[in-house]
Amino acid sequence: MPRRVIITFAVIGVLLIISEYYTFQALKTATKIKALKWVVLFISLLIYGHFFYTVSSMNRGDGQTVTFQWAFGWLLIALVPKIVVMLLLFGEDVVRWVQRWFSFFTSEVKPLTGRRKFLSQLALGIAAIPLASLLYGVFKGKFNYKVIKYQLKFKDLPEAFDGVTISHITDIHSGSFDNKEKIQYGVDLINEQQSDIILFTGDIVNNFAYEMDDWIPMFSELKAPMGKYSILGNHDYGDYSDWKTPEDKKANFQGIKDIHPKIGFELLLNEHTYIEKDGQKIALIGVENWGKGFNQAGDLALASKGVQQEDFKILLSHDPSHWEYKVKKDDFNYQLTLSGHTHGLQFGIEIPGWIKWSPAKYVYKQWAGLYEEFGRYVNVNRGFGYHAFPGRVGIWPEITVIELKKA
């Protein structure tokens, strides 16, 4: 086993032991139900054992399976609330140690009777919030589809396209799906928007072309009178698996590209097409994945070759870091860019008009929603599916509907 993996396991192991100790003590102090602390410990040990067994026995060539995702999900459900308890009670221990240190010099000992019980009850009460949130996220939240609508005005939009609507979806991640009824609901919700165009911005699978096999008939039901177009995301290249031969990886990549016409989408691979209406047209440009620091297969110049600067342009680019570092200041003027990739990390807090936060904001400047700079827009869709963690907490799956208007 690689040294890095051993160190990671050791750190996780220490964290588990400390968090379990504090949770055990909190339950012992806060409740009169003596068996409760042992029941919680037993369930936790089962979850930890299942996770470590899954990780140690999995074949990297299989990629990130549904089994791994659920093992990781249950690990977070068991661990995160206990980390909350650990932090609160450890803080109280620090205060107590400081007081004892001062009492050594002052001979004054302040009574602590009742404080530990109160803090234990408080810590368990606060820990119940992430516990309930994570449980909701894995069973309900990942299917809590939201339709988010924008109306964008452009002076240079051809008049024929005034009022044209676009449904933007991204990050299907079909390899994570485990509920056909709920996914069908999401597909039907896309169709209910009755948009003129449907645009998909990558990550149709987790890693393997066969992950989409059972879902092709369902996603073939998507309808848009002016066309359906798509690009690739970072997961569509098969880079997150060990392959027996380069030929196997190449065949898988071709299989993933072949999925798109099977569900009625025109795949744009560093190329463009024109959408025409009433004798006028807009340019639709699709680049392969371009991410800051990895997989920069996207070639904006190649994809735009033959497009005129005065054309109205919609760019499909999976990773929003492409817009930040390459697109938004480009003199060629890409009026609207559609991206995905971040998922909003599938965890955060969003209350419209009040707060919008996720750890994703510390990684991506544009991580969810609509952004505008220099008169140019990028929409970062939060994703249709889910990956790694089999749930969503506060950052719900999204269908974006954009209405184009002539300013």
Per-residue pLDDT tens over the stretch 370-381: 999 999 999 999
Distance CA 314, CA 161 (A): 13
The domain defined by 146-406 folds into: Purple Acid Phosphatase; chain A, domain 2 (3.60.21)
Task: Give yes or no for residue 110 having a pLDDT over 80.
Answer: no
Distance CA 80, CA 400 (A): 31
| Domain limits, the chain | 3-139, 146-406
> Which range among 11-25, 84-98, 161-175, 291-305 shows the weakest confidence by mean pLDDT?
84-98
* pLDDT tens column, 16-75: 899 999 999 999 988 888 899 999 999 999 999 999 899 888 887 777 889 999 999 999
Across all residues in the chain, what is the average pLDDT?
92
Task: Give yes or no for residue 247 having a pLDDT over 70.
Answer: yes
* pLDDT tens column, 7-16: 777 887 888 8
* pLDDT tens column, 256-293: 999 999 999 999 999 999 999 999 999 999 999 999 87
